Chains A and B, each alone.
Chain A
Amino acid sequence: MKRNIPLILAFLAGLLMIVSEFIPHRPFSNMVETLEEWFMIIAGFSIVLGLASLLQMNYQKISTKAENWGYHLACVIAFAVMVIIGALWGMEDQPGLLGQGEKIISWLGKKPFDYTYDNALVPLSATMFSLLAFFIASAAYRAFIIRTFESNLLMISAVIVILGRTGFGTMLTSWIPENYRFWQLPVLADFIMQYPNTAAQRAILISASLGIIGSSLRIILGIERSYLGGDK
């Protein structure tokens, strides 16, 4: 019962969605609308579960005073601050438990949640990702070492796309006459993006979609059941 009912539920939910695609009329259309609403609600709770798991892991490290526990405490405090200010005064147009918070907006200029988002979360995430610009340079060195014909192709297309998307690249090949403008770096970069790149991306998409369709069918038919966990 602990395993069979979930398998039946997954089968029915999947079957209903597929049938409604081919019979988009009542009662299937209504049932699918309801199921989609339920899906949003349950998926929302599953994110809450993920965050609760993160907090539990941090709590364990703090309570056992594991190495660097202070940083985990900072994580929990940051989480609590964001949740409390979001719950009290809301976000963007959404009111919180204390309403829209006009008083605090007149003091901060915006809602505390939005203030923290703009001045802490945005700089942190943008800097974290921009940090990769430096590491990608060392990755480029390793990737661009010309060992084989394949790595040669990778390097040439990367260099053309990088230069073709900058003013420097345009300047480098601007002397090429209009009759041979195909060899100008921006035009060449566009060509690579439009044809060989699209071809390869299409091959990846087609192959991946075949794999996803296969595994989705396995889940709906109950062949793939690893998501249920152990036998307990």
Chain B
Amino acid sequence: MPDIMNTVGIWLGAFFTFAIFSFLYKDNPFYKLAEQIFVGLSAGYGLIYIIYAALMPNLFTKLATDFGGNLILLIPFALGIMMITRMVPKIQWLSRYPLSIVIGTSAAISLLRFLKSDLIAQVAATMINPFATKVPSEIVGNLMLIIGTICGVYFFYFSKKQEGIAKIPSKIGVYFLMVSFGATFGYTVMARISLLIGRLEFLLKDWLHIIK
């Protein structure tokens, strides 16, 4: 029986693959159906995942096994229920309390994380001796790293109008950003193409058994 169900699963996957690819011709009922099923399944998956990965281990299991010892967990539980009151217009103001805790906590977490990993760490990583190596390409690369970072940051400085001589570092920053966007674009293309190859491989190998 599992073999038959495996085949049914592959046919289901093939149907959904074709339904989505049919959009390349034009918007049609098959695509619309597959799109909505995708939204529904993703939402259902998200809900079940949150229940099993976050709510069960952190709340329900603890309350079920030792209710008396975990009475304090009733506070976040109540706050969680208050969050859902946002759906009821008359009492939606209640959701501000849990929301403020989430926002306050996540703002502090973001502040600390970005301060450490994205600001201090990145600035420190740029403070290098470009001539520490003997390899010419590495020296050029290190110089590019320093100049590109400084000019890039300068480009994002909007408090003063960049004109005259002050426009030069900004322009250099734009050049670095363009090279980076091009490289990112190239990487994105490669990632999408590899996904496409994966789907074609599924159709030709798993579904039709044309290739091995």
> What residues make up the interface of A, taking CB atoms closer than 8 Å to B?
2-3, 5-7, 9-18, 21, 34-49, 51-54, 56, 68, 71-72, 74-83, 86-87, 90-91, 94, 106-109, 113, 115-134, 136, 140, 143, 149-151, 153-162, 165-166, 182, 191-210, 212-213, 215-217, 219-220, 227-229, 232
B27 CB → nearest A CB, Å: 11
Closest to B111 in A: A216
Q: Give A127 to B30 CA distance when docked, in angstroms.
A: 14
**Given A13-B100, A37-B76, A48-B84: A203 and B108 interface contact (C-beta under 8 Å):** no
Q: Indicate if the CB atoms of B37 and A195 lie closer than 8 Å.
A: no
Closest to A70 in B: B33
Q: Indicate if the CB atoms of B41 and A126 lie closer than 8 Å.
A: no
Q: Give A82 to B50 CA distance when docked, in angstroms.
A: 13
> What residues make up the interface of B, taking CB atoms closer than 8 Å to A?
1-2, 5-6, 8-10, 12-14, 16-17, 20-21, 23-24, 32-52, 54-56, 58-59, 72-73, 75-77, 79-81, 83-84, 86-87, 92-93, 95-112, 114-115, 118-119, 122-123, 125-126, 137, 140-142, 144-153, 155-156, 173-190, 192-193, 195-196, 198-199, 202
List 6 A-B pairs, minimum CB-CB distance, nearest first.
A203-B152, A82-B44, A199-B148, A78-B40, A45-B80, A161-B186
What residues of B have a CB within 8 angstroms of the CB of A120 in the complex?
Answer: 12-13, 16, 37, 41
Q: Give A34 to B111 CA distance when docked, in angstroms.
A: 20
What residues of B have a CB within 8 angstroms of the CB of A125 in the complex?
Answer: 38, 42
Q: Indicate if the CB atoms of B96 and A3 lie closer than 8 Å.
A: yes
What residues of A have a CB within 8 angstroms of the CB of B177 in the complex?
Answer: 200, 203-204
